[in-house]
Structure 1
Amino acid sequence: MSLTTAIGQADWPSPEEELNRTVRRLLALLGPLLLVLLGAPALQGTASAAAPPAGQATRYTMTAFTNSSESNLYVYDSPDATGFTLQKGPAYTPPSGLIRDPSIFKHTDGFYYLTYTTNWTGNTIGFARSTDRVNWTFLNNYTIPISGLTRTWAPEWFIDTDGSVNVIMSLTSASTATHFTAWKITATNSALTTWSAPTQLSGIGPNYIDTFIVKIGSTYHAFTKNETTKYIEYATASSLTGPYTMRKTGNWAGFGDWVEGPALVQLDNGGWRIYYDGYRAGKYWYSDSYDNFATWSTPTEVPGLTGFIRHATVLKETVSGGVTLPTNTTRSLQSVNFPGRYAVVRSDSLGYIDPVSTSSTTAVKQSATFTVVPGLADANCYSFRDSSGRYMRHWDFRIRFDSSNGTDVFKKDATYCARPGTASGSVRLESYNYPGRYLRHYNYALSVDLYQNTDTFRADSSFTVVSPWA
């Protein structure tokens, strides 16, 4: 085995990624001013987003059907919204029909509920529920009370800020799969067994499908597929039923064409992640936004699932567990797959994993010793300070140690959120401002690299927090 094979494959940033990073930095500094000047609708509440406190963790549950089966549900979960692990598949097969476009939410009664497309034609949507997200019980196929419906597709849960439980659907009465419009029904009892009369969402359509809505502050944000152009477009309204105003059309976000099934979730750092189905290319993508949905990161394939899953939704929850590091104490970071090596800062101020032992010099031991403090950008995450007071941060994705300049960008660059590592008691450190990128060694150099669904990557990015060398 060659050294390169043993350590893993490189994941250095492309010129496109470096450009994207530069744009992100500029937006962080200038974004609020630009939004005022451009009159973009504000996303309120993102500044208060934070990772869960000690003893708790974020869990993202994904439900999807697959390329190989439209009748079987697959359930995955993830601590970071990037690397998903199969919990059960197939996890549920309805008594008859399909389970396309499965959407999941957790109700106030403690049950998880699914709604889904039951068939290519017809006027019903399906419902099932579960206590544990992986074992499901069929409830019923609900008939949408509109005369002449020929297709009832892509039902999506939407829980409004008043607590009302809604299902957003794409409906058509055409003889072919055209001229879809968005509609909603609202549960009229807590058991979700009776529903209001359907109401059309004004301003979306005709010929828009797969409408997914999030509400932030007093504004409803709708992401919906233009079935004519095959782009995911964007609209806003001050009421759930509209009227919606189309804000962005065409390939405005760089998602590409022949894409569908948008689903959004807010990340712990306040950003928003959209997942979507590149059905023509047979790929599944995600992209992130930090500037009121104005711009989005370069689309990235969902590791391990792209090409297999179709039209998923993702539920975010806070659950017990997670990884907790001791703060305001000195510790060393030991590589899991190179246990004789530890994270260090060398004289060039860059981070590496170097050999450290009892026979090492005091200077070497000191270089491998850091004070763990509450995260500069989020106190529920972590920052690492060397003996001279410099912080471990990333710059163009390379790890280096710099003195804080007090800016928000620096604080985010120097903050890492703890995720479970590959070995018992080990930890993986995810970049706070680049979710999905982890502290990882390659050729003994440290960087924050994009998650890869490989055992090598997971081992390269796992560290054991041990007693300090100095």
Structure 2
Amino acid sequence: MIKRFTLLLLLGWCCCHLSAQSNKTTYLFSYFKGNGEDGLHLAWSANGLKWESLKNDQSFLKPVVGISKLMRDPCIIQGPDGLFHMVWTSGWTERGIGYASSRDLINWSEQQYLKVMDHEPTTKNTWAPELFYDKASKQYIIYWASTIPGRFSAGAEAGDTGYNHRMYYTTTKDFKTFTPTQLFYDQNFNVIDGTIQKIGKEYILFLKDETRNPPQKNLRIARSTQLLSSYSKASEPITGKYWAEGPTVLNINKNWIVYFDKYTEHKYGAVSSSDLKIWTDISDQVSFPAGVRHGTMFAVKTKWFNQQVKAKL
């Protein structure tokens, strides 16, 4: 009887332990190094603060599409079917972006070149594309920043020479057919590096004010109750006096953390908030592999990560 009771206790502990393991979260970070020549890099973290590179910081996927064949600003999200989708900036002066998909983040599909701004032949650039999956419409939103010379007067004299970005988007359900590109965000200033989080019934757009004269180069927030329109004017800066770009966001223990590239200082930073109103700089609490440039952070199950990624490297 005692042996049977002990066995039942042991089985119960094992079930609880396995369940706890399967519910744990691991955080991943897709990023690039240098100019993006060697492609996709990945790092992982158990707590969102200390980040370690995977595969000895070697590339997981080398870029082969676009004119310049770069892989900057890699953005990865996981769809409802478990498939990971990635978009990236394929060059400095192009009208398209790169796209590929993967089941395990190691083996990737054939790369595609999505000509999202081909309808605007004077477009100077197509930078920092991001992805968002809309459960209601069961479609993916791809959004990015582009400059179309002469299209907008506001901010034209205040930005970097020749650049006056606005944000645009297209939608797709299968990454084969896409809706016509439309304007996504314009509040009369030079804007880039948007990333969306759905919080309750509201959509929060984290963005970079790209104004150079007088210098802003900081991160702000816009809000809307509609995914594709009606975003508010940008908030006051949530970052400090340094120049920041490439925001990516995680919610850890009911706390929002915005990570970003302090690109003029060649290091990474972060700010944290529990209410999206009061922000605390926690840059001294985060650590990253040397030379990381910005990309996207996302969460996966720890059990899946150990079996499908770590075990294969």
TM-score normalised by length of structure 2? 0.78
Q: Which of 38, 41, 59 is equivalent to 1:90?
A: 59
Q: Which residue of 1 aligns with 2:34?
A: 67
Q: Which residue of 2 aligns with 1:256?
A: 241
How much does 1:304 deviate? 3.5
Bigger radius of gyration among the two: 1
How much does 1:207 deviate? 1.0
CA contact under 8 A between 1:255 and 1:299: conserved in structure 2? Answer: no
Q: Which residue of 2 aligns with 1:315?
A: 298
Instruction: Give the distance between the partners of 1:70 and 1:314, measured in 2 at CA.
Output: 21
CA, structure 1 residues 78+197, in 2 after alignment: closer, same or farther (shift >3 Å)? Answer: same
Counterpart check, 1:217 vs 2:200: yes
CA contact under 8 A between 1:214 and 1:220: conserved in structure 2? Answer: yes
How much does 1:219 deviate? 1.2
Instruction: Give the distance between the partners of 1:200 and 1:76, measured in 2 at CA.
Output: 33
Matches within 5 A, 1:246-395: 246-249=233-236, 252-267=237-252, 269-300=253-284, 302-305=286-289, 307-320=290-303
- 1:141-167 Cα shifts (integer Å, max 9, x gaps): 000143122200000111224232111
Instruction: Give the distance between the partners of 1:138 and 1:257, measured in 2 at CA.
Output: 39
RMSD: 2.4
TM-score normalised by length of structure 1? 0.53
Instruction: Give the distance between the partners of 1:184 and 1:266, measured in 2 at CA.
Output: 25
CA contact under 8 A between 2:247 and 2:261: conserved in structure 1? Answer: yes
Q: Which of 122, 137, 141 is equivalent to 1:166?
A: 141
Counterpart check, 1:113 vs 2:80: no
How much does 1:53 deviate? 5.5
How much does 1:204 deviate? 4.1
- Please give the secondary structure, in 2, of the residue aligned with 1:240: coil
Q: Tell me how many residue pairs correspond in the alignment.
A: 266
- Please give the secondary structure, in 2, of the residue aligned with 1:55: helix
Instruction: Give the distance between the partners of 2:35 and 2:196, measured in 1 at CA.
Output: 28
Q: Which of 197, 200, 225 is equivalent to 1:238?
A: 225
- 1:411-463 Cα shifts (integer Å, max 9, x gaps): xxxxxxxxxxxxxxxxxxxxxxxxxxxxxxxxxxxxxxxxxxxxxxxxxxxxx
Q: Which residue of 1 aligns with 2:163?
A: 178
How much does 1:256 deviate? 3.2
CA contact under 8 A between 2:269 and 2:282: conserved in structure 1? Answer: no
- 1:4-62 Cα shifts (integer Å, max 9, x gaps): xxxxxxxxxxxxxxxxxxxxxxxxxxxxxxxxxxxxxxxxxxxxxxxx96132101111
Matches within 5 A, 1:9-24: none
- 1:397-420 Cα shifts (integer Å, max 9, x gaps): xxxxxxxxxxxxxxxxxxxxxxxx
Q: Which of 128, 146, 167 is equivalent to 2:119?
A: 146
Instruction: Give the distance between the partners of 2:41 and 2:83, measured in 1 at CA.
Output: 18
CA, structure 1 residues 283+166, in 2 after alignment: closer, same or farther (shift >3 Å)? Answer: same
Counterpart check, 1:104 vs 2:76: yes
Instruction: Give the distance between the partners of 2:141 and 2:242, measured in 1 at CA.
Output: 29
- Please give the secondary structure, in 2, of the residue aligned with 1:288: strand
How much does 1:242 deviate? 2.5
Counterpart check, 1:208 vs 2:191: yes
> As a proportion of its length, which structure holds more strand?
1
CA contact under 8 A between 2:27 and 2:44: conserved in structure 1? Answer: yes
CA, structure 1 residues 117+254, in 2 after alignment: closer, same or farther (shift >3 Å)? Answer: closer
Q: Which residue of 2 aligns with 1:343?
A: none
Q: Which residue of 2 aligns with 1:128?
A: 100
CA, structure 1 residues 155+114, in 2 after alignment: closer, same or farther (shift >3 Å)? Answer: same
Q: What runs of 5+ residues in structure 1 fail to find an aligned partner?
A: 1-51, 323-470
What percentage of residue pairs aligned between the two structures are identical?
Answer: 26
CA, structure 1 residues 300+242, in 2 after alignment: closer, same or farther (shift >3 Å)? Answer: farther
How much does 1:247 deviate? 4.5
Counterpart check, 1:192 vs 2:179: no
CA, structure 1 residues 255+164, in 2 after alignment: closer, same or farther (shift >3 Å)? Answer: farther
CA contact under 8 A between 1:158 and 1:166: conserved in structure 2? Answer: yes
Q: Which residue of 2 aligns with 1:412?
A: none
